[in-house]
Amino acid sequence: MTTVKTKKQLKSSIIREMKNLNTYKKEYNNLIDIYAGLLHQYQVFEMQFEESGYRITEEYTNKANATNQRKVPILTAMESLRKDIVSYSDRLCLNPKSLNIEQPKKSEPIASPLDQFLAGQK
């Protein structure tokens, strides 16, 4: 069974990784806190999912008293967390996809998505 890292441990690890990639700025700490929380939640859910024997569905009786199979709520939560984790890892430049994006030079202003769209219309 895997041990779950604390949010504080995860945050330290994230900051260390960002420093190694030269992408860390102290201004990102709030975003890093959220990302560390998402990773912590995912680890907790992953452990619970493992303890359930990786059960994917369960019987559920709805208001009309009909019984059906439905996806277990923990799996739905994990799927949602995965999407959020990928999104935050992109923003923090912590995955290969985000590192392949050409970064603007410091002297160049960063174009907003609207500016990029308008430039494409010419």
pLDDT (0 to 100) of residue 19: 95
Give the number of other CB atoms < 10 A from CB of residue 92.
Answer: 21
Residue boundaries of the structural domains of the chain: 7-120
Question: Is residue 40 a contact partner of residue 4, using CB atoms and an 8 Å limit?
Answer: yes
pLDDT tens, per residue, the chain with 122 residues: 568 999 999 999 999 999 999 999 999 999 999 999 999 999 999 999 999 999 999 999 999 999 999 999 999 999 999 999 999 999 999 988 887 755 555 555 556 566 666 666 65
pLDDT of residue 117: 61
Please tell me the predicted confidence (pLDDT) of residue 61: 94
76-84, long-range: CB within 8 Å, 24+ apart, which pairs? 77/45, 78/42, 78/45, 78/46, 78/49, 81/38, 81/41, 81/42, 81/45, 82/42, 84/38
